[in-house]
Amino acid sequence: MSDWRDDLPAVRGDLRRDVALNGLTWLKVGGPADLLFNPADAQDLSDFLQALPPDLPVLPMGVGSNLLVRDGGLRGVVVRLVGPLAKITVEDDLLIAGAGALDQNVARAAQRAGLAGIEFMIGIPGTIGGAMKMNAGAFGGETRDRLVWAEIVTRDGVIRRLDKAALEFGYRRSALSEGAIVLRAAFALEPGDPAIILRRMDEIRAERESAQPIRVATGGSTFKNPDGRRAWQLVDEAGCRGLVHGHAMVSDKHCNFLINRGGATAREIEELGEMVRARVQARSGVSLAWEIVRIGEEAGA
């Protein structure tokens, strides 16, 4: 039987078949990707996308910190942005970060350069690409606050630069076009005392560690905050703190976090999330929206 993967274009990066994704997401669940591509650079990715069939799904993936991959895995191509696509540079007061750069590393780079305005990123466990896609925010800051421009590559391989207005940021969303992959982003910062910046970052780290489950398999905030409400409070009021389903659990430390206690399937975690949503709806009339991105196929599909 022929395999569509036998006719792929040549690449300079790393291209592998049938790669298990459960080791690449923070929730430690998920079936295999048909293909996993680590491009050598932006041009390598652009050339690859141009040569692919236009209807083939392509998904960018950072460290999988807010991603739930279903047990049947992902069809198409998963793109991971590493190496040159995770580079961070500073030009005067402009910090330019590759999409694969960890948000926390971006905050550290700014602090070392004596640049203030992006300290909140020390509390976000993801990458710049994901932060751009969902306008990630925490501790009083959002990705859009200091953004000047972003470079993207569209699904047909065209590289474009967009200003902040074109991205139409909102609460945990942006207007990035379907199939677009962020390559890098530029942030306008301001000079500051590195010691004061570091002190603020230390405060954010301490606050995060005291309030959120860390060093466990979790996917970050599970549900978006409804207008004027806190998702964790609604979950708590519905009696879901510590709720267990199979090997999945609602954190008893911060109940807007779901935890893989060890051996959970993606299905168990997603079912637990839906149980929480149903109880919150019944208790308060509020329909919680998922913040964790759920993708892929069910096992056996």
Catalytically annotated residues: 172, 221, 291
Identify the CA nearest to 187 among candidates 115, 262, 85.
115
Beta bridge partners of 68: 294
Identify the CA nearest to 34 among candidates 56, 51, 55.
56
CB count within 10 Å of CB 159 equals 15
Contact (CB, 8 A) for 132 and 150: yes
The DSSP bridge pattern shows strands 159-163 and 141-142 to be: unpaired
Residue with tokens 């590493």: 82
164 Cβ contact list (under 8 Å, min separation 6)? 144, 147, 148, 149
Sign of CA dihedral 50, 173, 202, 259: negative
